[in-house]
Structure 1
Amino acid sequence: MVTLHGACAALCGAGILIRGPSGAGKSSLALLLAAAPDGAFVADDRVACAVRDGRITAGPHPALAGRVEVRGQGILSAADLGLAVRSEAVLHLAVDLVEAAPRLPEPPSDADILGIAVPRLVLDRGARAAGLAPLLVRAALRKLGP
């Protein structure tokens, strides 16, 4: 098992690992995804990842389970925010939050997490600021199929 800096949410049970530098919006995106009717909050800040049956599972660090940091608000309970909470999710997608990306980029290479390839989506600040991140995450999951 390894602990990664990031956040994790699930849509329709599919785990989404969100990575990026401090202040990039990892927690915010996880909350937006978890707030969807088919969403759930998994982890914030430290995501515990392990290989199980050839797939990556993600869950919260025990000290942070069910809690999320919201800038300017502090550490909050995901349940108090009205979010469904999952103790674990199988990762289907890694989302990397970056400052800038090319206007018409090539498809990103997969993320290597614990030696296993996980499909990857790169979102720049402009897409996040426009509120497109949840839609783009859903589109990426749809492309992966069932």
Structure 2
Amino acid sequence: MNAVLHATCVAFDGRGVLILGPSGSGKSALGLHLMALGARLVADDRTQVEVAEGLFATAPPGLPPLIEARGVGLLRADPLPRARLVLAVDLGARETERLPPRREWMHKGHALPLVHGPMTGHFPAAIRLYILSGRQD
């Protein structure tokens, strides 16, 4: 059972982050920044999420391996065909707490850790480290 979401997905070592938010919230921009830190593109703007002993992301059929860079254009990328999702970022919600509580994003009975987006200078680096090393409570 697959669902196509209005989201961008990039991955480090096959571990994906699903970037959610309304149009213009910076999904592609965050994806680009994470790619500059070593992530690979899975899908931009539309991401297919499948349930198979966890959540996995792929590009919907026919979606070209491109990512939008506002003010620059559509950029080609070497896509990763599939990534296990380990984190969701919601750029439609702003984090107000310095050390926020654990949150979850639910999809078809499966939970992913969720962070809200303060698009601060350290945010992309923090997301990369979260994906690769996890979070301490």
When normalised by structure 2's length, the TM-score is 0.86
Q: Which runs of 5+ in 1 are unaligned?
A: 79-83
Q: Percent identity?
A: 36
Deviation of the 1:56 alpha carbon: 0.8
1:76 corresponds to 2:66: no
Q: In structure 2, how many angstroms separate the alpha carbons of the residues matched to 1:144 and 1:131?
A: 19
Deviation of the 1:133 alpha carbon: 1.8
3-state secondary structure, aligned to 1:98: coil
Question: Which of 80, 85, 97 is equivalent to 1:91?
Answer: 85
1:9–1:120 distance in 2 versus 1, CA, 3 Å: same
3-state secondary structure, aligned to 1:100: coil
3-state secondary structure, aligned to 2:98: coil
Deviation of the 1:116 alpha carbon: 0.3
Question: Which of 131, 136, 141 is equivalent to 2:126?
Answer: 136
Q: Which amino acid aligns with 1:46?
A: R
Question: How is 1:18-57 mapped onto 2 (pairs within 5 angstroms)?
Answer: 18-37=19-38, 39-52=39-52, 54-57=53-56
Quick check: which one's helix share is greater?
A: 1
Deviation track 1:38-87 (CA, whole Å, cap 9, x = no partner) reads x21110011011011x2111011223231112222333322xxxxx4201
3-state secondary structure, aligned to 1:42: strand
1:89–1:144 distance in 2 versus 1, CA, 3 Å: farther
Deviation track 1:73-109 (CA, whole Å, cap 9, x = no partner) reads 333322xxxxx42011010000111363324364142
Q: In structure 2, how many angstroms separate the alpha carbons of the residues matched to 1:28 and 1:105?
A: 24
Question: Which of 75, 78, 101 is equivalent to 1:107?
Answer: 101
- CA RMSD in angstroms, aligned pairs only: 2.0
**Higher relative contact order, chain-length normalized (CA < 8 Å, sep 6+):** 2
Deviant stretches of 4+, over 4 Å = none
Q: In structure 2, how many angstroms separate the alpha carbons of the residues matched to 1:106 and 1:131?
A: 18
Aligned length: 134
Q: Which runs of 5+ in 2 are unaligned?
A: none
Q: What corresponds to 1:8 in structure 2?
A: 9
Q: What corresponds to 1:117 in structure 2?
A: 111
